[in-house]
Amino acid sequence: MGGLSPEREVSLRSGKNVCVALSRLGYRVQALQIDHPDQLVPALYETDIAFICLHGGMGEDGTLQALLEILGIPYVGSGVLACGLAMNKIQAKRLFQSQKLPTALWAEYREELWPVWREQIAEEIGFPCVVKPVAEGSSIGVQIVHSEEELIPASQATRDEFGNFFVEKFIPGKEITTGILRIDGEDRALPLIELRPHREFYDYIAKYTPGECDFIIPAELDAQTTIRVQEIALQAHRALGCFGFSRVDLRLTPKGEPYLLEVNTLPGMTDTSDLPKAAAALGISFDDLVERMLQTALEKEKLKPKHVLTA
Ligand SMILES: Nc1ncnc2c1ncn2[C@@H]1O[C@H](COP(=O)(O)OP(=O)(O)O)[C@@H](O)[C@H]1O
Ligand SMILES: [Mg+2]
């Protein structure tokens, strides 16, 4: 938990909750708060299973997962490639598109296009639109832009702070998130959650300040729409090769058309987080959820090829 990404504080809250649950479940738990990369490798030598509670950056983008693979330490959730693909919103959108899964129209920022950027966005995407860093989370750096006048400063600021970014068509309607969890050996979609932030959109404050967002669980949608959203979310999880659990964010237009925003391979486990709420709606307690997440580490090991030479 912890780590060096902008989501450090959220991660510490997730990690604390998971540690308490693992202790209650009877596991021997060593909380490892990462403040500096040097701490990591020595601590990992003592580890039987890594329950990763990092969000964003090297904890969620496949980098830490790669290190754990090399060290032969089982870890929860998705593997290296799926984490890398999910963390990069543009690569993820390309994969959604290749699987004919709905995702909002977007334009990637490219330095050489800068002089015509404004015109391209106005013509192809229109306003309002959403400016987003390629590989952040927790709505960090996400901005809704209402006019051409706002676009240039928003783009410049995003480029300066995050480097790669893209602009996406604004999808009106509802904010829906779908937890995915492995139940009886199969990854399944949990009951849908509708998020009604008291702010313009589901930004960092709405996400992590109690009272800034209403959670409607299960989302008040007809059965057909619910099943369609769950199916699309599960397909998105599979398209990226995710394993065991994830949380898929979508927008649902007033006509009931879902659009995928992103897949989170290490969803929050804080007191206000969505995955625990979605699991609870199915009668799965926080401890039970943590136990199931932990088991994904061992299940993943069983699926590995057996012919690998080990020292
Ligand atoms: N295309 C869009 N249309 C409308 N709202 C959006 C769009 N993209 C992002 N948002 C808003 O910004 C939030 C964060 O965007 P998301 O792509 O999920 O990134 P993050 O990884 O930061 O959660 C969404 O939950 C939603 O409220
Ligand atoms: Mg999101």
The catalytic site residues sit at 7, 138, 208, 247, 249, 262, 264, 268
Q: Are residues 231 and 293 in the same domain?
A: yes
CA distances from 222 to 31, 218, 257, 289 (A): 43, 11, 13, 27
34 and 22 part of one domain: yes
Q: Which of 131, 150, 169 is the last residue of a domain?
A: 169
Quick check: CB of 171 below 6 Å from ligand 1?
A: yes
Cβ 175 under 6 angstroms from ligand 1: yes
pLDDT in tens, 109-150: 887 777 788 888 889 999 999 999 999 988 999 999 999 999
Averaged confidence pLDDT in the chain: 94
pLDDT at residue number 111: 78
How many degrees, rounded to 5, is the angle at CA 142 between CA 136 and CA 143?
Answer: 165
Q: What percent of the chain has pLDDT over 70?
A: 98
Mean pLDDT across 36-60: 92
Instruction: Print the domain residue range for 39.
Output: 8-84
Which ligand 1 atom lies nearest to the CA of residue 177?
A: 25
Q: Do 203 and 132 form a contact (C-beta atoms < 8 A)?
A: no
Mutate to test the pocket of ligand 1, among 139, 208, 215, 250 (most ligand atoms within 8 A of CB): 139
> Which of 90, 155, 89, 94 has the alpha carbon at shortest distance from 119?
155
Cα(219) to centroid of ligand 2, in Å? 17
Ligand lying closest to the C-alpha of residue 201? 1
User: Residue with structure tokens 């909380």?
Assistant: 31
Question: pLDDT tens for residues 140-175?
Answer: 999 999 999 999 899 999 999 999 899 999 999 999
Model confidence over 88-110: pLDDT tens digits?
999 999 999 999 999 999 999 88
310: pLDDT strictly greater than 70: no
Position in ligand 1 atom list of the atom nearest CA 264: 21
**Percentage above 90 pLDDT, the chain:** 84
Output the pTM of the full model: 0.95
* 3-class secondary-structure state, position 187: strand
Q: Which pLDDT does position 308 carry in this prediction?
A: 62
Q: Which two tokens stand for residue 286?
A: 């926080």
Cα maximum dimension of the chain: 61
CB 80 within 8 A of CB 62: yes
Q: Which of 44-58, 197-211, 286-300 has the highest mean pLDDT?
A: 286-300
Instruction: Indicate the number of domains in the chain.
Output: 3
Phi, psi torsion values for 108, nearest 5 degrees? -80, 140
Residues 237 and 281 in one domain: yes
The token pair that represents 2 in the structure block? 């912890």
Check if the beta carbon of residue 166 is closer than 8 Å to that of residue 109: yes
Q: Does residue 218 lie in a domain region?
A: yes
Phi, psi of 11 (to 5 degrees): -60, -40
130 lines ligand 1 (CB under 6 A): yes
Whether 262 lines ligand 1, by a CB cut-off of 6 Å, is yes
- CA end-to-end span of the chain: 29
Domain assignment of residue 93, yes or no: no
Residues near ion ligand 2 (CB < 5 Å) are: 249
- Residue 202's SS3 state is coil
Tell me, yes or no, whether 96 lies in a domain.
no
Strands 193-197 and 245-252 come out as unpaired
Q: Smallest Cα–Cα separation from 137: which of 237, 236, 3, 5?
A: 5
Sign of the four-CA dihedral 250, 230, 228, 220: negative
CATH number of the domain residue 180 falls in: 3.30.470.20
